[in-house]
Amino acid sequence: MRWTPYKNIFFDCDSTLSTIEGIDVLAESCGKKETVEALTNAAMNGQLDLQQVYGQRLQAIRPTHQQIMDIKAAYKRHLVEDATAVVQTLQALGHNVFIISGGLYEPVREFGIWLGVPAEHIRAVEVQYDALSGEWWRPNADQHYKQYEEGALTVSDGKGDIVRELLEEFGQPGERALLIGDGSSDLLASRSVDLFVGFGGVIARQKVLAEAPAFIHSASLAPLLALVLGPAGLGRVSQTPHAYLADKCRQLIITGELSFHDERLKQKFEQAYQAVYPRPDRSTA
């Protein structure tokens, strides 16, 4: 059975490309870690709508511009395993890579560009600063957060709108789309793509694990390549600077780091995989 590849690949950022939640790192630097972390987990687990907690978290912290920009460095220090290599491999093989995040735009944008994702393919939440704080007569790092710009990424069920906008702008008719993420907002956006892949390499959220059609359990993003390219296309990875990913992907699949909640999807993938990488017939051994 043939596995059709996916052209447009959408990544969540926090706990998917980086092992941190940027807002929680920000809260820790301001001494508000426990309060904000509890709100973040409630939103990511689907217990509260993101809209209920977004402004509440930022008002509790009220960070400076510099503190927000420091998240960028934290993202880089805490990369998910093989994140850069997977992004670069997908792009080298002609796939469109996007980042859609409920995180703060400036650090997410800079982190995404550092990974190699075009700036126009990155969406996150813009914030405004209090022009009367710090040295108010000129732009400065001491200006404090004032408010965020409400929109699709500040509500739990809004990511799908951004996916559709980006596909309309950068995609072509007939191209398939895949979204990977760890949270309930990613799961809700699954209606806007052809395949949603849950990622549990940083934190496995029960609702996502139970409902995602496909789920990656490993700390590495390497198994994503088999889903995007298809088993038959996995060999093309050997033609890229990150050829090691092909073997790593296959090994992680063998050890059960990729699972399926959708039985039909599971059968389709296994048949396509066996056609390319048949298991030895033990009966003849």
pLDDT digits (tens, 9 = 90+) for 40-49: 888 888 887 7
- Given a contact cutoff of 8 angstroms between Cβ atoms, the answer to whether 127 and 23 are in contact is no
Decide if pLDDT at 146 tops 70.
no
- Look at residue 282 and tell me whether its pLDDT is greater than 50: no
Does 39 map to a domain?
Answer: no
Would you say residue 67 lies in a domain? no
pLDDT digits (tens, 9 = 90+) for 177-205: 999 999 999 999 999 999 999 999 999 99
Residue 174 has pLDDT above 80, yes or no: yes
Structure pTM? 0.90
Q: Which residues pair with 18 in a beta bridge?
A: 14, 79
Q: Whose CA is closest to 232, among 279, 188, 276, 282?
A: 276
Which distant-in-sequence residues (6+ apart) come within 8 Å of 228 by Cβ? Answer: 5, 6, 9, 90, 95, 178
CATH number for the domain harbouring residue 276: 3.40.50.1000
Domain presence at residue 59: no
The answer to whether residue 36 scores a pLDDT higher than 70 is yes
- Tell me how many domains the chain contains: 1
Q: Which domain holds residue 225?
A: 8-20+79-127+150-284
Residues 6+ apart with CB under 8 A from 136: 143
